[in-house]
Amino acid sequence: MANHPDLLVGTEHGDDAAVYRLDEKTAIIVTVDFFTPITDDPYEFGLVAAANSLSDVYAMGGKPLVALNIVGFPSELAVEMLGDVLKGGYDKATEAGCLIVGGHTVDDAEPKYGLSVVGLIEPGKEVSNSNAQPGDVLVLTKAIGTGIITTGCKQGITPDAILKNAVAVMAELNKGASEAMMRVGVNSCTDITGFGLMGHLRGMVRGSNVGARIRVADVPVLPGVWELLEKGTVPGGTFRNMAGVKDCVDWDDSLTEEQRLLMCDAQTSGGLLISVPESKLDQLLSELEASGVQTRAVVGDITAENPGRIGVSP
């Protein structure tokens, strides 16, 4: 495991990105993320993949500076589609104020796209996933259920309007949410992606040595998700996530299988999960609103009891 006095955040707690100090005023945030298409539209794929890759810098409280494209693409599709994927990535990076300065492409049977991003932060200002404090409140900035919706899309049963809305949510940068939390000063943050709400919260409670409580009724859910769940639409990754958190989640007996699966749904480009002292909650909610963040849900809190565990109630 990498260890160095200037490595402020390394691999210890499975944080969103590494943070390396260059001097007293400057640290770089370094991260990489890429995945396979979530919809049939190559431009939208580019938008969402770039928003997702940039999100790890935002989760640390940083500003993305430069990025490199990472592309795997079948050569027979590359000519007609790759340009649109890269255009989506370019447009999203531009919105973030981040320059794409190069990249690398390999021939690959299944398309893949993402970015390696370098961001900036003042040393000591970085927001890790391992400093949540008892008494903190947990705020989530996007509704969940994108894994279920995109799986339903592959099955051909997600209504167009439902998919369109989910793509817009996935393509939304976590920039405003990140800037809001940095204006307020919060204890801990992570973004919700492939391991789902429970999986990423597990990283936070373990890294911070605290417990957490989540109320299912307070967790925002994208439109159309419950209907798809009732039809049995669940991504493979979501089942794996649920098995993966078995050792640390205490589900209330009254919770249905669907509710439990949803709390573990593998997200693409999900929101920030922010752990904020209760005394600063109102300030955070108003700063999020001022930043144009539509979803500002108080979903639970942090406890001294049951360190490393998550209690989930209806």
Under 8 Å between Cβ of 53 and 115: yes
Smallest separation (angstroms) from Co ion to the CB of 41: 23
Q: Confirm or reject binding of residue 287 to Co ion (CB under 5 A).
A: no
Site string for Co ion, 174-203 (x = CB under 5 A): -----------------x------------
Rounded to an integer, what distance in angstroms lies between the CA atom of residue 230 and that of residue 239?
A: 15
How far from 214 is each of 218, 284, 293, CA to CA, in Å?
A: 8, 19, 21
Q: Confirm or reject binding of residue 56 to Co ion (CB under 5 A).
A: yes
Site string for Co ion, 112-151 (x = CB under 5 A): ----------------------------------------
Q: Report the half-sphere exposure of 81 (CA within 13 A, side-chain side).
A: 20
3-state DSSP call for residue 50? helix
The nearer residue to Co ion, 8 or 163, going by C-beta atoms, is 8
Dihedral angle at the C-alpha atoms of 204, 209, 213, 218, nearest 10 degrees?
-20
The nearer residue to Co ion, 33 or 126, going by C-beta atoms, is 33
Rounded to an integer, what distance in angstroms lies between the CA atom of residue 220 and that of residue 296?
A: 9
Among 21, 33, 197, 202, binds Co ion (CB under 5 A): 33
Q: Confirm or reject binding of residue 16 to Co ion (CB under 5 A).
A: yes
Smallest separation (angstroms) from Co ion to the CB of 176: 17
Rounded to an integer, what distance in angstroms lies between the CA atom of residue 78 and that of residue 111?
A: 9
The nearer residue to Co ion, 52 or 303, going by C-beta atoms, is 52
Cα angle for residues 295, 19, 274 (degrees, 5° grid): 20
* Segment interacting with Co ion, rule: CB under 5 A, options 20-28, 32-40, 144-152, 303-311: 32-40
The nearer residue to Co ion, 16 or 44, going by C-beta atoms, is 16
List residues binding Co ion (CB under 5 A).
16, 33, 56, 191
